[in-house]
Structure formats: C-alpha cells, structure tokens
Structure 1
Amino acid sequence: MLLTNSAAWIPEEQAQLEVGQAPWPKVGDDDLIISTHAVAVNPVDWKIQSWGGFGVKYPYILGEDVAGVVVEVGANFKHKFRTGQRVIGHASGLAHGHAYGAFQKYPLLRGSLTAVVPDEIPLSEAVVLPLSISTSAAGLYTKIGLHLRSPGDDTSSFADKKPTLLVWGGSSSVGSSVIQLAVASGYTVVTTASLSNFDYVRKLGATEVADYHEPDVTTKLIDFLGDTKLVGAYDAIGSEITVRQNAAVLHALGGGKIVSVGKAPEVPHNDVEIVRISSSIIDNQEPNVAKEIWGEYVPAALASGKLVPEPKPLVTGHGLSDVQEGLDKQKAGVSASKIVIELHPKKAVPATQPRSLAE
C-alpha cells in the first residue's frame, strides 16, 4: 500500500509550474520525510525557472525552504527526531534530486539540515529561515568562507574589542540571518540597507547602518569601520556592483576577504580576496558546520528566542497551485519580507502508485 504525493513541477526548462502527482519518497538513513505545511520562495527559484541552467534535470521540483511535520525518520537520525515533530528544513534538491525539492506535499529532507521548531513559532513564520541559515553559515564559518568563530566557540579573546563584520544587504533574507548569526558569534556588525529598513537591521543586531542608495556609501562605511578590527565582508546581494563596493571599502582599510552569494568579479586590488559561496558547502564539503549550526545552534536559539524568523513572511497563497504566483511576486521584488505559501495537507490515504511527471 502506497501513499499519495503531489508537487508543483517545472516540467521543462523555463516552463510554468504544473501541479501533478509525484512519487512517494524513499527515506534514506540520513533523511526525513515531512508533511509540508508551508514553503517560502527564494530568488534562486525564479532564476532557475526564468534562466534555466543550474545543472537541473527536468522535470524538477523547485524550492529550498520548507516547514512541516515529521512523517518518517531515517535510521541515523532516530535519536534526534521523531514523527509528529514540527520542523524547518533546507530542501536540497539541487544537490540530491527532485525528491528533496520543497514544493511538494511530502519532501525528503537531510536530517543534518533540519531543526525542530518550538510550538510557539508558527511554521509559516519559521519557514523563512532554512536557505538563509545554510547560506549564512557557509559564508561565515567554513574554511572556504570567512572561517569565523561559531556561536558555541569561546569568545573570551574578544573581551577588549569585538571584531567587526561588514554585511552588505542586511535587510535581505540572507543578510538578516548573517547579522543574527554573526552577533551570536560575538562579532559587531556594520551593514547596508535602505533608509526605511534601518530600524529593522538594528533590531537584528547591527551597530551601524549605511544607506546603500547614497553615492558616498563606501566613504561612510570606511568611516564606520576605520577604528575596528575588520574580519571581512559578507555580500548578501552578490552583484558585480556591490562586490566592487565592498572591495573598495576593504582595500581602503588594508585589504581582506569578501564572501559573495553571487558574483565574484576581478577587482583592481591585490589585497582583496573574493570568494563565491553557496549553501551546499555545509552539506557536501564541510558537514561539521552543518552539525554545529543546524544540529546545535538553530534548535536551541529558536527555543530561547535568540534566533528569530526574519524577514517577516508575506503569505501569498494556500496551496501548490499558488506557488507560481509566489515565484512571480518574488521576481518582481520584495523588501524586508519573504514570500510564503501555506499548504494545509490532509491525511494521506492508501492508494495505488500514482503516475507522476517524473516517470
């Protein structure tokens, strides 16, 4: 007897999403199956749909952010999760195939990229976090990235003067998590945002904020950072323009390293290193970081209130058929919010194996 699953498929490159049946996932030793209650939309989702590429094999199930209830637990994570628990997870379909895509009723999740959510936090709010946590951790803590101290490390050496991190794009989804993680790790944060989001990024923990719209934004950042111990820059926007602006700031202050979520252009500064990072680093290259951040910090910090789901969700739909509209709205642009689609799954019933777009 098999259970039914369905998904919002992208059947071919640059096609619109189609809701159809999907295979019931087969749980591996390192996996969970969850019943999806909410998904969030990230720029990578519409970029894959609009641009193609990314190594995707079609038909495919998009989606990186998912929240729901545990249905089945693989052997290696039975000590950590149980059925019925409320969780968020980074859906790693790009690395592991469409069974791990978020935009379906019953996705697979890597146990190492999943965390329990306290009852007092609605899943439609918590779902904004997963991809941003993985991407933030990849840039902040890996050897490929800035290799900073993590939240559980001893920061007694910071007693006299906390090191400072420059975060470009603090009000973005990734920037919001970078600020929270960096502050939790003992660092002072200087960031950029639009004037309307100054209070937002300060609430997250940023000490100084510069308006990226201003033509003298790099000069202001140099002034803010002049007397600090700068450990590098995290570019949460990742455009050629923003990376070059970060490089100008670091060069003026003696050089350093920039981690970028997007572009890594050449710059005319030999004392500046630019590294492009992605969330997959903590899954397949430096899993110790995933264990420390996802396995230890995230569940504890959510429970204590030290990690808050930001930016706020903007709920635009209530079913898989509404996911395409969510992609369209994210592509059009949002500020200090994240597109979320709620799903209200009914109890799965025994059925014959359905035909799916994957066949």
Structure 2
Amino acid sequence: MSQPQQVAIVIGSDKTSFSVKSIDIPKPEVDEILVKVLAAAQNPIDLKTVELGFLDEGFVPGCDYAGIVEEVGSSVKGVKKGDRVAGFQGGSYGTFAQFVRVDGKNFFRIPEEVSFDNAASYGIAFQTATLGLYHTLKLPEPYNARDEEVTPILVWGGASSVGMVVIQLAKLSGLTVITTASQKNAEYLKSLGADYVFPYNDPNTPAEIRKITNGKLYLAYDTISEKGTTQLVIDAFGADSDIPKGKKKELINLRSVPCEALDSKADSVTRHRLLGSTLLGKDITVYGIRVPANPLVYAFSIHSYDLLERLLKEKKLQHQRTKILGGLEYVPEGFAYMKEGKNSAEKIIYRPAETKQ
C-alpha cells in the first residue's frame, strides 16, 4: 500500500534551490505527534539556511507552525487528535509542508480565541526571547517580577520578530525598555511596551542612550547581531565605573558564528551567543557548527511554552502583525520580500492547505 502524500517545499540537489513537490507524510516516532499545518510563519533563519546551502537535498525548510494534531505517538501523554497546537521545529522535517512531526512535549496549546495565523507568529521568536531574558540573563519572569529599582534594557532591533517579543516580556518583567527601529515603527513598538525608541541608523543613538540612562545601562539584547550592531550596543553601555555596584555588562547576541571585530570596550562586556535551535533538545548542526543537545535548555523550552500559554490566556501578550501570502507556492515571493528588507514589524504567513501545484 502506498504511503499517503502531502505537498511541501523541498530542497533541490544544489541545496540552494527548492520547489513545491509531493512527498510522503512523515510517520511520528513514539515520542512525537504529527501536526496538520494550517499556518507556517517565515523567519530570517529560513531564508539564510536555504541561501547558504545548509539544508540537504530533500529536506523541508521552515521553523514555525500552528495546526491540529493528526496522530499521536504511542508514548505521548495528554495529547489527542484534534488538539490545537503550535511551536517551532527543526531538522529535515520543516514546517513548509502540510504535515510536520514534532516533539510530543515541546509545543504550546493554542487558546480558542487565538487564530492559527497569529499562533504561528510566536514559536521561535518567543522561545529565543525567553531563552535570552530568563535562562541566560536570569531576569525575573513576568509573574515573578520584583518590586525594586527599575532596570533599563536595550533591545537593538525592536521591529524584528524576536525584538517585538523581547520588548513585551521585558516590560512585563518590570524593566524600562529602550529600543531601536525605523521611525515608521516607533509608535507601534511603544504600544508593545517600549519606553524609548531611537532611530537605528542614527550614529548618535548610542550617545543618546547613554544620556537617558545616565551611563547606567548594563543589559542589552541585540536581535540583529550583524552589520555592526554589536559594536553600537557596546557603545551604548555605560562606563565600568558608572554601572550599579555588583552588576556586570551583559549582551545577548543571536549569532552562531563569530561576529565582526569589536573595539576594546567589548573586553568588559559578557557576550552570550544564543542558538534558538538548542531549545529543541537534540544534537544540531547550524551554519556548519555541531551543537550537542542541552537537557537544561530543553527543559527550559517546555517551561517557556507553559509561560506562553498563560500569557495568551490572560491576553497579556500581543501577536505580531501578520502578512498572509497564501499557499506554499508563494514561498519564493516571501523570500524575495524578506531579502529586499520589505518586511518590518510583521510575520509572513503561509497556509499550506491552500497550496496549488
């Protein structure tokens, strides 16, 4: 008997091309669930991994998904067919497909009032944001925020998908949020919780940030982490003698490879390079670098999804603005749109079930 088929975006033999093809619907392992993908969100890593040829022939790209459980592995507990679920996935079975197999623990349940399109916008952005803020910087989570002196944090790239989540979470954690973006997005980012929005392309921005923080800034999250942004963030930090006693300057970078050369001020900054894929709990290879599974990060990921569910149920977290393109045949258009820098403060969404071959 032939294997049931689906349509998906499939990587070609040169590893940089792709097309819509019919492929087998994957069978979930005993500890996995099979999800019918009703919405898949596009992320910068999706474009980069294809352009740089990091996916093998036959692989399916895509990280973020939202959909309905179709099949449940024999060892998975507390999940049933028909449940509304979302999250992010990696490896050879990506989310630019009509079905995806995912970890039977590492996902979140979608509240009834949240659409599949909006649910797909959280995934890797939310998990990467919490990994930096709470697992790495050890800041208090929203429901554990302490009543103490307000701490400023700089979010460089506030209109990025991760940046928009970091802004909201940092505000819920009681921090003063300073961010950078184009002026067209300034009011939107303030509606998410940003206290100050500075132009990302103004060379005076680091000095202005030092001014409003009285040189006391010591926490930052660089959601761009390329084209000189890390140096700009370091320039915005206060002098070692100005930051609060007992604190140290810490910077989150979203890079898996060494960034550009930095000046001597970087020597006093503790830099944390995050890999969102470590949240999947598996050995991974990203940008040609092998990263072993980290059980502590995996456990944090499951906890983080619990936090997301609570925030959504209590309507304390806004979804990102979405741009719905349609079926998977629009992935080339979505990639071009992102590559040209046209998507700003929004998530591109595909609906695999609407794909026309």
Short-chain TM bin: 0.7 to 0.9
1:103 and 2:96 matched: yes
- Any idea what SS the aligned residue of 2:337 has? helix
Question: What residue is the counterpart of 1:320 in the other structure?
Answer: 328
Conserved 8 A contact 1:165-1:189: yes
Residue 352 of structure 2: which of 328, 339, 343 is its match? 343
Residue 272 of structure 1: which of 247, 269, 273 is its match? 269
1:299-347 deviation digits (Å, cap 9, x = unpaired): 111121112211x11112x22222222222221221111211123369x
TM-score w.r.t. the length of structure 2 is 0.85
Q: How far apart in 1 are the matches of 2:261 and 2:250?
A: 13
Correspondences of 1:143-222 after superposition (within 5 Å)? 145-152=136-143, 154-156=144-146, 159-222=147-210
TM-score w.r.t. the length of structure 1 is 0.85
Residue 309 of structure 1: which of 316, 319, 339 is its match? 319
Correspondences of 1:119-130 after superposition (within 5 Å)? 119-130=112-123
- Any idea what SS the aligned residue of 1:61 has? coil
1:91 and 2:89 matched: yes
1:76-128 deviation digits (Å, cap 9, x = unpaired): 5422x3221222110222xxxx12x0111110122343111122222112211
- Aligned-pair identity in percent equals 29
Correspondences of 1:222-241 after superposition (within 5 Å)? 222-226=210-214, 230-241=217-228
- Any idea what SS the aligned residue of 2:81 has? coil
Question: What residue is the counterpart of 1:288 in the other structure?
Answer: 299
Question: What residue is the counterpart of 1:42 in the other structure?
Answer: 43
Question: Relative CO higher for 1 or 2, CA cutoff 8 Å, sep ≥ 6?
Answer: 1
Question: Alignment length, in residue pairs?
Answer: 329
1:62 and 2:40 matched: no
Residue 231 of structure 2: which of 222, 237, 244 is its match? 244
1:212-248 deviation digits (Å, cap 9, x = unpaired): 12221001111222275x4511001111411001111
Q: How far apart in 2 are the matches of 1:29 and 1:130?
A: 23
Cα RMSD between the aligned structures?
A: 2.1
- Any idea what SS the aligned residue of 1:206 has? coil
Conserved 8 A contact 2:215-2:238: no
Conserved 8 A contact 1:319-1:341: yes
Conserved 8 A contact 1:264-1:276: no
| Amino acid across the alignment from 2:85 | V
Uncovered stretches (5+) of structure 1, i.e. residues with no partner: 347-359
Return 83-92 or 250-259, whichever deviates more. 250-259
Q: How far apart in 2 are the matches of 1:276 and 1:72?
A: 36
Q: How far apart in 1 are the matches of 2:38 and 2:191?
A: 28
Q: How far apart in 2 are the matches of 1:185 and 1:155?
A: 5
- Any idea what SS the aligned residue of 1:6 has? strand
Conserved 8 A contact 1:234-1:260: yes
Shift of 1:173: 0.7
- Any idea what SS the aligned residue of 1:104 has? coil
Correspondences of 1:252-263 after superposition (within 5 Å)? 252=239, 254=243, 256-262=249-255
Conserved 8 A contact 2:16-2:52: no
Shift of 1:51: 2.0
Uncovered stretches (5+) of structure 2, i.e. residues with no partner: 282-293
Shift of 1:28: 2.5
| Amino acid across the alignment from 1:276 | R
Return 115-124 or 22-31, whichever deviates more. 22-31
